[in-house]
Amino acid sequence: MAHIKVEENIPGIRSLVLFRPETGKPLYDLAQVLLRGPSSLSEAERELIAAYVSYRNECIFCMSSHAAAARCLYGPDKNLVDEVLHDMQQSGASDKLKALLHIAGKVQVLGREVTPEDIAAARMLGADDREIHDTVLIAAAFSMFNRYVDGLASFTPTDPAVYEAMGERMAKGYVLPASPEPK
Amino acid sequence: MPYIPLEQHLPGITGLLEYSKETAAPIRELTQILLRGPSTLTEGERELIATVVSHRNQCTFCTTAHTAAANILLGEEETSARVKQDIITAPVSEKMKALLTIAAQVQQSGKSVTTESVQKAKEAGATDIEIHDTVLIAALFCLYNRYVDGLATVTPTDPAFYKGLGERLNNNGYNRLPQGYEHLKK
């Protein structure tokens, strides 16, 4: 049960933003601009960074939902998502994406863990300033979202089908929910 | 030196928020609501939560900036220093001790927050919204601290810089300055 009186059986962050829509709005706006706004990283890649950080933070709700969104966006290449979550370095991700995921993994631990060598390695593989910025901010943002979702012990569904449907909705974008039931 | 090109006259978080204004807008809005919006927690109490989390994330820029903001709001410097040393013996209410304890657990991981610590906060009079906001402020500073240090932004060492920043935060809150930041160029 959640630590505060949110509506029961509403999963994860949805229950929290319905409890406090004032803060929910900028939270959803941030997810939308970071994960769906203009970027040279694809939406699928950005969702994968989100899922990877959530996995490392052991946030089952965020990991499962963003992995589902990433699978949906990767389409025929969806196996990459599970490969990365299983063993990032051995996965079929491009070397550039691996270097960015490596930076995201450092950010997940702590900001000061990121070294000039990590950044140089990503640049050598073609990452530009904006991609490095976006990777760090996505990883930092999910260090927030994960703590929000688990810190208040919001409801975490266990049925994979629930996340599959969630991922399909999320792939279309992040809009603040106005009611407990998804449209 | 920062890992990406940022305006030299805007150290710490400000240079990042100006580098990426699209992402800065919701981050600023969220911070303004949480730290300056209507709340039964005082602005000083909310700045203490930001201070404790930043300190535990070893983010010198954020810790020094929010310590300065808290000191101005509280009118003294002892409380912010003591909550960083030890929450339990710090000169704050039992409710604040319980909320700061929750914030410290959030700093470690969302999963570290215990039912017992939440129960203790409720017994000390904390409302659901206060607990919610404490968790979200702590989580938000886990974002800020990682953003600021993860891109190696400049951390000024002159205390006068933070005094000025603390005053700016207390006068303008967390919204982008209407006139921008060009006037801070020396």
Predicted confidence at residue A43, as pLDDT, reads 98
Distance CA A140, CA A134 (A): 10
What's the gap between Cα B63 and its chain centre? 7
- Cα–Cα distance measured from residue A81 to residue A92, given in angstroms and rounded to the nearest whole number: 9
Strand pairing partners for A11?
A: A155
**Domain segments of chain A as ranges:** 12-171
Structure tokens at B82: 């003591």
Per the structure block, which two tokens stand in for B171?
Answer: 């006068």
| pLDDT score recorded for residue A182 | 67
From chain B residues 16-35, the ones with a CB under 8 A of any chain A CB are 16, 19-20, 22-23, 25-27, 29-30, 33-34
Range with the lowest mean pLDDT among A45-59, B99-113, B116-130, B164-178? Answer: B164-178
Confidence of residue B185 (pLDDT cuts 50, 70, 90): confident
Cα–Cα distances in Å, from A70 out to A44, B72, B115? Answer: 5, 45, 33
Tokens of B34: 């949480």
Q: What is the pLDDT along chain A (183 residues), one digit of tens a residue?
A: 899 999 988 999 999 999 999 999 999 999 999 999 999 999 999 999 999 999 999 999 999 999 999 999 999 999 999 999 999 999 999 999 999 999 999 999 999 999 999 999 999 999 999 999 999 999 999 999 999 999 999 999 999 999 999 999 999 999 999 877 764
According to the model, what pLDDT value does residue A112 have?
A: 96
| Mean pLDDT value across residues B87-95 | 98
Please report residues of B whose CB lies closer than 8 A to that of A112: 58-59, 149-150
- What's the pLDDT at A8? 87
For position B186, what pLDDT does the model report? Answer: 73
CB-nearest to A151 from B29, B113, B147 is B113
pLDDT, tens only, A129-147: 999 999 999 999 999 999 9
- Give how far the C-alpha of residue B117 lies from the chain's centroid of Cα atoms, to the nearest Å: 21
Query: Is domain A12-171 annotated with CATH 1.20.1290.10?
Result: yes
Two tokens at B168?
A: 């700016």
User: From the CA of B66, how many Å to the nearest CA of chain A?
Assistant: 18
The mean pLDDT of chain B is 97
CB nearest to B22's CB, from A27, A33, A112: A33
pLDDT in tens, B7-32: 999 999 999 999 999 999 999 999 99
The least confident of A135-144, B86-95, B127-136, B176-185 is: B176-185
Span B45-84, pLDDT tens digits:
999 999 999 999 999 999 999 999 999 999 999 999 999 9
- A150·B22 Cβ contact <8 A: no
Written as one letter, the residue type at B19 is: Y
Helix, strand, coil shares of chain B, percent, nearest 5, are: 70, 0, 30
Contact B103/A at CB under 8 A: no
Helix (H), strand (E) counts: chain B: 9, 0
Q: Do residues A11 and A157 make contact, with C-beta atoms less than 8 angstroms apart? A: yes
> Is a pLDDT exceeding 80 seen at residue B148?
yes
**Nearest CA-CA partner of A69 in A173, A180, A140:** A173
Which residue is listed with tokens 């002892």? B78
pLDDT score, position A64: 98
Torsion of CA B142, A13, B98, B30, to 10 degrees: 50
Q: Which of A25, A111, A153 is closest, CB to CB, to B150? A: A111
| pLDDT in the model for residue A178 | 85
Answer yes or no: do B58 and A3 touch at CB < 8 A. no
Nearest-by-CA chain A residue for B142: A144
For chain B, list the domains and their CATH numbers: 12-170 (1.20.1290.10)
| Structure confidence at residue B2 as a pLDDT band (50, 70, 90) | very high
Q: Among candidates A177, A178, A128, A130, which has minimal Cα distance to A34?
A: A130
The DSSP secondary structure of A134-166, one letter per residue, reads: HHHHHHHHHHHHHHHHHHTT-B----HHHHHHH
